[in-house]
């Protein structure tokens, strides 16, 4: 029980327009023969999450859409708070949310800034943390202290994001990212 957070990558060209811009699934499947199949998979996955992840996870979702988990955090509430604020418009309902490469760069920069201040022993570290990546409260979201666990989560986030940022999506290497959480 508690906050579990996932970053998924879907490979392939199916979510990219001719100009290389991400197309949300709702637009991609509108008027498409695959729309009912997509909606059934999405609804099964959402129901599984919202029903407390009871029973076997609907694996068809992964196989049908070529999705891989590229990031996982456990009770890293400051990272969850960042995604809710910067990607989900403040709405925290365990929904799948597209994450753009530029947004990941913003999270990465925030993490690097925090680690830099921590390693330098900067005065006012707590104030900097509270401004850049504050702990986020929630039901079984983990601790709210600025301690070794907080900084471990920041380092883990840097490790997750570096490979994605060094290999951005392109028309010849298209992929899209989505964030979700379960609590």
CA distance 152 to 154: 5
Task: Quote the tokens at residue 127.
Answer: 């104030």
Helices 77-86 & 101-120 angle (0-180, nearest 10)? 140
Answer whether residue 124 shows pLDDT above 90.
Answer: yes
Contact criterion met (CB below 8 Å) for 108 and 165? yes
pLDDT digits (tens, 9 = 90+) for 130-174: 999 999 876 667 788 889 999 999 999 999 999 999 998 877 777
pLDDT digits (tens, 9 = 90+) for 53-107: 555 554 443 334 467 889 999 999 999 999 999 999 999 888 888 888 899 999 9
Residue range of the domain that includes 83: 4-182
- Specify the number of domains making up the chain: 1
């Amino acid at each position: 029980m508690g906050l579990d957070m996932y970053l998924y990558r879907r490979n392939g060209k199916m979510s990219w327009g001719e100009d290389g811009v991400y197309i949300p699934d709702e637009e991609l499947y509108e008027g498409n023969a695959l729309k009912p199949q997509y909606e059934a998979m999405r609804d099964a996955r959402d129901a599984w999450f919202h029903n407390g992840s009871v029973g076997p996870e609907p694996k068809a979702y992964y196989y049908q859409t070529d999705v891989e988990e590229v990031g996982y955090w456990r009770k890293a509430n400051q990272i969850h708070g960042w995604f809710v604020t910067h990607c989900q418009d403040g709405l925290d309902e365990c929904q799948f949310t597209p994450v753009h490469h530029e947004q990941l760069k913003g999270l990465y920069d925030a993490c690097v800034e925090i680690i830099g201040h921590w390693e330098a022993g900067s005065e006012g570290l707590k104030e900097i943390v509270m401004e850049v990546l504050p702990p986020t409260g929630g039901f079984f979201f983990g601790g709210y202290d600025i301690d070794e666990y907080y900084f471990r989560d920041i380092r883990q986030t840097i490790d997750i994001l570096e490979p994605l940022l060094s290999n951005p999506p392109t028309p010849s290497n298209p992929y899209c990212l989505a964030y979700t959480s379960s609590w």
